[in-house]
Amino acid sequence: MFLENKANRESQKGWIEVIVGSMFSGKTEELLRRLKRAKIAQQKVEIFKPMVDVRYSDDEVVSHDANAIRSTPVESSGNIMLLSGNVNVVGIDEAQFFDDGLANVCHQLANQGIRVIVAGLDMDFKGKPFGPIPSLLATAEYVTKVHAICMRCGDLAQFSHRLSDEEKLVVLGEKGDYEPLCRCCFLKANS
């Protein structure tokens, strides 16, 4: 049975979908929507998140709106390959927190006929490209950029402005730690 499923999977076309945007833009919500639809279609789905992300749950991917789906927390992108046997769809949340090997892992999975859906921040709090996301954006078949609403002027927001003076790159946060800002308000806040 496993060899038959593996042969079917390898004859299928795999691909990579990337969902990016600022904090509070609905990235995880869109990831969950796509994964739930795959489950409705009777596809075998496996979801991964970085072990460092324990804001809402240790073993679930949870959106800011409190929608959730069971996931497997992993330390590195290499673990995703080890744990993705016999699936049709792999979901990866908070991809910016993974190592640079994530793009290669996603390509290997897609080459095996697996649909890979990745969600993450495309920019850090300074407005710079974040982690493995730029490489995934350049090589994915499908890219969706979602936007939040600027908390200062109401325009579309694409930047995640950190409200504290913390300078570390990775600071897990929620509402009260970050706010989505448009380009104009982001430049004003950082001048």
CB-CB contact of 18 with 110 (8 Å): no
Please determine, for residue 16, whether its predicted confidence score (pLDDT) is greater than 60.
yes
Which residue in 17, 46, 94, 179 is the catalytic one? 94
- What's the CA gap between 145 and 67, in Å, rounded? 20
Q: Which amino acid is at 78?
A: G
What is the pTM assigned to this prediction?
A: 0.86
Where residue 93 falls (left for φ over 0; alpha for ψ -120 to 50; beta otherwise) is beta
- CATH 3.30.930.10 is held by the domain 2-147: no
pLDDT in tens, 32-42: 999 999 999 99
Residues 6+ apart with CB under 8 A from 68: 32, 56, 57, 60, 61, 62
Tell me the pLDDT tens digit for each residue of 120-132.
Answer: 999 999 999 999 9
**Interval 60-113: pLDDT, tens:** 555 555 566 678 899 999 999 999 989 999 999 999 999 999 999 999 999 999
How close are the terminal C-alpha atoms of the chain, in Å? 61
94 is catalytic: yes
